[in-house]
Chains A and B, each alone.
Chain A
Amino acid sequence: MIVALDRGLSAIERPAAVLSAFVLFGMMLIVAVDVAMRYVFNDPFAWSHDVISLYLLPAVFYLALSRTFDIHGHIGVDILQYSLSDRWRRLCQIAIGLLGAGLFVLIAWLGFERTVEEYADGSAISGLIEWSTWISVAFVPLGSLLISVRLVIYALLHAIALIFDERIVELPPLAGSEESLLEAEA
């Protein structure tokens, strides 16, 4: 069941991460065209600054947050891990999963509350165009919820690996190890 949950979550994470990449590429085009419009036609986009900082940057981050964890993309300090047995390293992964999930559940809950409040209030950033803020805030609970579930699954998989079958999930690669470098190449 946990493996099925893992696959189900990946089915959400992967397209979310691709979407994050599209948004990133889109930001590059918007800013570059904006610069060209300013210097060539003296007519820059009035909206690019607000759209990028309010919506697109949070989208890039929160859409890719969970997938980045899943591919071991968030860096950690491995120095002590080299000297630990696999059993202790499994225990560390369980602690990382549970503590991390605790943090992100709290952030997701507070973010959800804020989203609902800003939606109800109709909060917006004033300017030439009024930008609704709840859409921006909504990325926080969405991304945090995704990574919370990912972290819980991560902890459970390592707990199962520790008690029953270590083949169910591999330990994360250590910095400089063969696996980490192969992963970096991939």
Chain B
Amino acid sequence: MTVAAILAALLLLLAIGMPVGFAMAISGALGLYMQGGIDTLFGVLRTAPLSGVSHYELLTIPMFLLMAEMVLLSGIADELFKTAAAWLGRIPGGLGMATALAGAGFGAICGTSTASAATLASTSLPSMVRQGYEPKLAAGVVAISGTLAMLMPTSVALVIYGLIAEVNIGKLLISGIIPAILVTITILGTILLLVWQDPARAPAARRLPFREKLQMLWSVGPMLLLFTAVTGVIYTGVATPTEASAVGALGAFLLALARLKVTIPRLIVAVQRASYGSCMILAILIGANIFSYAFTLTHVAHDLVAWVGGLAVSRWIIITLILAGYILLGSFMDQMAILVLTVPIVLPVIKTLGFDPIWFGVIKIVTAEVGLITPPIGLNCFIVARYAHRPVTEVFRGTFPHFIAHLVAIALLVAFPELVLWLPSQMAQ
């Protein structure tokens, strides 16, 4: 009864458009009152609003958001694409591939996919269209390449999963690297296939002198340095992910300073955007905290685990159904909301089935990538449509081949968990 009331209240509040964090807190508060009375409710509301924001590890989220803002301020993304385009432009579909590589490179230092999509849309998309690329193909590549940021070691989404699932965040961030490479290869392969089907979709760009290409490589140097500063220190255990995120943010700030892009008003705007983003995420985490107290009292997660454990069905069928459910949810719900709403319930089931929580986190994030390009609310498609001045339906059609290719990538990651777990297993303890 209480569970039904909590879920009904949550769905109703979400349906009226209430911010996710507030909706979870209110429905959780209702559940606490129904399950434990007024004392339980007051007890949780006295502590959760502060304890939910006073963990040192939470600092990783604002620091990665700040790093992303500083990277955007530095304008390095433009040069990443230009460099990749100079080296790959002559290959059929080369500018599309350059976009995917710039997306991976940019994602490696800016872990938010919407920022990545917006940046790629304003830099690589006009170049591809000018080159005579089919707009549908160009827009699809940009939308999917933006999602790569979610798998990189600066991924805010992975940090949030790590905090909710209580897994080692350093290992989790590192575990995304090989899947990110796999997904990048998947995108490159899809572009090649599309161009092979119809070469007119993506004409080759003009040839650049070798000397010019070499010079352009210099611009990638600071990006590599920043990527190494963050990933290297996490991998070697020199610093915690929290410390690495702050060092990365400072590095990105110094990069923007060195490129003479920093003015006081622009800096304030950039830091404020990081502050608003952090506030939004922390509000969701506090709401999820209150909600999970209520859910714990109902013993639903425990009962669900017992029920799934008693099923005479292969665990591979169950994980396939869970992932299919995630892709379906991702087509109409925000990824952050999906993470905080489902992980506390689904993760105990995953553990009972004998799957690794770090592996599941990465797979979950790849399904989230798919959600970002799936109608009706695939956010990256809307961002690209806006920048490209194209109908959003066209962008969705352009991402469809990548949607199919991503399903193949997910199947590979599910079939071969070592792809996710090998790199973190090599880390210093």
Does A24 interact with chain B (Cβ within 8 Å)?
Answer: yes
Closest to A89 in B: B17
Q: Which of B238, B249, B268, B276 contacts A28 (CB 8 A)?
A: B249
**Residue among A22, A53, A136 with most chain B CB within 10 A:** A53
Q: Are B46 and A31 in contact (CB under 8 A)?
A: no
Q: Which of B22, B63, B278, B382 contacts A31 (CB 8 A)?
A: B63
Q: Are B336 and A75 in contact (CB under 8 A)?
A: yes
Q: Which of B19, B274, B381 contacts A76 (CB 8 A)?
A: B19
Does B124 interact with chain A (Cβ within 8 Å)?
Answer: no
Q: How far is the CA of A74 from the CA of B268 in the complex (A)?
A: 20
Q: Are B276 and A73 in contact (CB under 8 A)?
A: yes
Q: How far is the CA of A77 from the CA of B15 in the complex (A)?
A: 7
Segment of A4-12, A64-72, A159-167 engaged in the interface with chain B: A64-72
Contacts of A34 in B (CB 8 A): 243
Q: Are A53 and B56 in contact (CB under 8 A)?
A: yes
Chain B: minimal CB distance from A35 (Å) = 5
Closest to B385 in A: A176
Contacts of A61 in B (CB 8 A): 53, 278-279, 282-283
Q: Are B62 and A27 in contact (CB under 8 A)?
A: yes
Q: Which of B14, B239, B386 contacts A181 (CB 8 A)?
A: B386
Question: Chain B interface: which size bin?
Answer: 35 or more
Does B54 interact with chain A (Cβ within 8 Å)?
Answer: yes
Does B50 interact with chain A (Cβ within 8 Å)?
Answer: yes
* B contacts with A: majority SS: helix
Contact with B along A68-97 (1 / 0, CB 8 A): 110101111111111000000100110110
Does A41 interact with chain B (Cβ within 8 Å)?
Answer: no
Given contacts A24-B66, A103-B26, contact A60 B54 (CB under 8 A): no
Given contacts A103-B29, A140-B49, contact A65 B383 (CB under 8 A): no
CB interface residues, A 27-48, toward B, < 8 Å: 27-32, 34-35, 39
Closest to A39 in B: B238
**Residue among A74, A81, A172 with most chain B CB within 10 A:** A74
Chain B: minimal CB distance from A115 (Å) = 10
Does A130 interact with chain B (Cβ within 8 Å)?
Answer: no
Q: How far is the CA of A69 from the CA of B298 in the complex (A)?
A: 31
Closest to A143 in B: B49
Does B377 interact with chain A (Cβ within 8 Å)?
Answer: yes
Given contacts A140-B50, A172-B17, contact A60 B276 (CB under 8 A): no
**Residue among B29, B45, B279, B280 with most chain A CB within 10 A:** B279
Q: Which of A20, A79, A93, A96 contacts B377 (CB 8 A)?
A: A79
Contacts of A156 in B (CB 8 A): none
CB interface residues, B 269-316, toward A, < 8 Å: 271-272, 274-280, 282-284
Q: Are B46 and A114 in contact (CB under 8 A)?
A: yes
**Residue among A79, A95, A144 with most chain B CB within 10 A:** A79
Does A155 interact with chain B (Cβ within 8 Å)?
Answer: no
Chain B: minimal CB distance from A111 (Å) = 7
Q: Are B276 and A67 in contact (CB under 8 A)?
A: yes
CB interface residues, A 92-144, toward B, < 8 Å: 92-93, 95-96, 99-100, 102-103, 106-107, 110-111, 113-114, 136-137, 139-140, 144
Q: Which of B63, B280, B383 contacts A74 (CB 8 A)?
A: B280
Closest to B392 in A: A176
Q: Are A21 and B272 in contact (CB under 8 A)?
A: yes
Does A18 interact with chain B (Cβ within 8 Å)?
Answer: yes
Q: Are B50 and A100 in contact (CB under 8 A)?
A: no
Q: Which of A60, A103, A107 contacts B279 (CB 8 A)?
A: A60
A–B complex contacts, Cβ < 8 Å, 25 sampled: A17-B275, A18-B272, A20-B279, A21-B271, A24-B274, A29-B250, A31-B243, A53-B55, A58-B50, A58-B53, A61-B278, A69-B19, A74-B279, A75-B20, A75-B334, A76-B17, A76-B18, A77-B334, A103-B22, A103-B29, A110-B42, A110-B45, A110-B46, A111-B46, A181-B382
